[in-house]
Structure 1
Amino acid sequence: MTGGAVPPFYVHAPTAGQAPVIVASPHSGRHYSAEFLRMSRLDAVALRRSEDCYVDRLFAAAPAQGATLLHATFPRAYCDANRAAWELDPTMFSEPLPHWCDTTSSKVRAGFGTIARIVSRDGPIYPRPLPFSEAEARIRTCWQPYHDALSALVQVNMERHGSCILLDAHSMPGPLKRRGDLPDFVLGNAWGTACTPALTALVEQHLVAHGYNVARNVPFAGGFVTRHYGRPRRGVQALQLEISRTLYMDQTTLQPHAGFEPLQAVLTDLVASIVRHGDMPGRQAAE
């Protein structure tokens, strides 16, 4: 959370081989500019409650396994790369929105559009309406470059390998006692439309073998990234992975705890398994 010019994303190329695997983290960005903090009614700690804290670090060893790692630097509360570009809440803005904006999606209605209206339990982010130009600038300088980079990485893998696997990595709040405990991981494959059954099973089996409780599609079936990029019949598979924050961090202090490194090791091995799966000749065609 420092000042200065920060690029909207970083790409870490594979350092061992060139597997057709991308690990992406659109919500772990933690550059909260002074301007954004001045604009918000919330402090940085409250804003960070919507952040997928440290997910990029959990997968830091992915390039050493042959995968490409892409992660945003801008916070989810500032601009959400796991939404369509123009999912905007008209109540947030001081003038009518252009006709091309999606103002009625379920995420918009819940307050979590491309420019979020709220941060979970801490309520509204802004004390007053924003000009549409603010949303437009964030989408042009954050959302668009991130997706340009992701699209280019997918295309390069398709040209080089004829296939691509995209693991879209996220974190989720820990157990909600009043609603029953959430699982350790949720695999979102858009109800079977974004990747092959074999890929989902591979990831699930790996995590279960380590003693984790794994669910599929409930309560997270996959966001924009999974649904937009996942085209298994064309050779592009996308799977959203939600990780319970209780496994690796203190949700009050927002600091990693002793579980961080063991989980990081499990996820490093998971990426290695996905790389081996993606490298199998004819695997995508056969599935």
Structure 2
Amino acid sequence: MTAATVHTEHVSFDSDGTTLVGTLYSPESQGQGPAVVVLGSWTTVKEQMAAGYARRMAEAGFHTLAFDPAGYGESGGRPRQLESPARKIRDIHSAVTFLGGQHRVDPRRIGALGICAGAGYTAVNAANDPRVRSLALVAPWLHDAALVRDIYGGAEGVRQKMELGLAARTRYELGEPVDYVPAVSTTDPDAAMFGPFDYYLDARRGAVPAWDNRFAVMSWPQWLTFDPHPAAARITAPTLIVTSRDAAIPQGAEKFHADLGGPKNLVWTEGDQFDFYDRDSTVDEAAALAAYHFAETLA
């Protein structure tokens, strides 16, 4: 990937009445050019893994938007830290609208890149949004009902989280404060991610000041029942999947790739899930593959 000067701009745009805030990364180029929307993993903000990929896409010549979905970071929207797939998919659609309206962007040449859970949201939008002409999914978290049971303690574990989420939603609708647990913790088993997830807890990595380590408990039903796989057959945009056997759920990536309805490429590289977030060698390789894919399919 050939490095280039990148200009950044703090931008805002509307998504169904909510003001979203993002960073627009622009290469030095003449005339209209291709563009890419980037979204990171669940619970995250634009300054985390999305920023690294957005900058690399801009260095490769693409106008690139990384943004905070509703309820996260600098964007408006309540409840805060609500992991709502439907709301995030809507926000991706709005981000494509905003990016396509920029005078240096060719609206016929827009791609989308999603990382981890953002891959699932980005893919579902692409299935319903013909303006997305090319898709790249990096270390994608693409679960279905069977994988949800495997990951979250079987049918009983899923049932308990569903009940917690539904009860939290009821209390919120009755006017009580939002119930929160840590998004990530090594000590609190109620956290959304419980374990040694160093990326999120290390200030040199993902524990950036803009990130709020909270997870709205009412998110569980929406997250656990979200299944992007039925959308795969409806995706006709050329799709690249980059992941590894050591990533979070490679079997989900394989299944999704098999079901894709358009041109597709699944590339296996090296690294664990968090390497794809900020390990330079891993991100450089994944971003270079994505940039090549976009250059070929958004030409």
With the length of structure 1 as denominator, give the TM-score of the two structures: 0.39
Q: Which has the higher contact order (CA 8 A, sep 6+)?
A: 1
With the length of structure 2 as denominator, give the TM-score of the two structures: 0.37
Structure having the higher strand fraction is 2
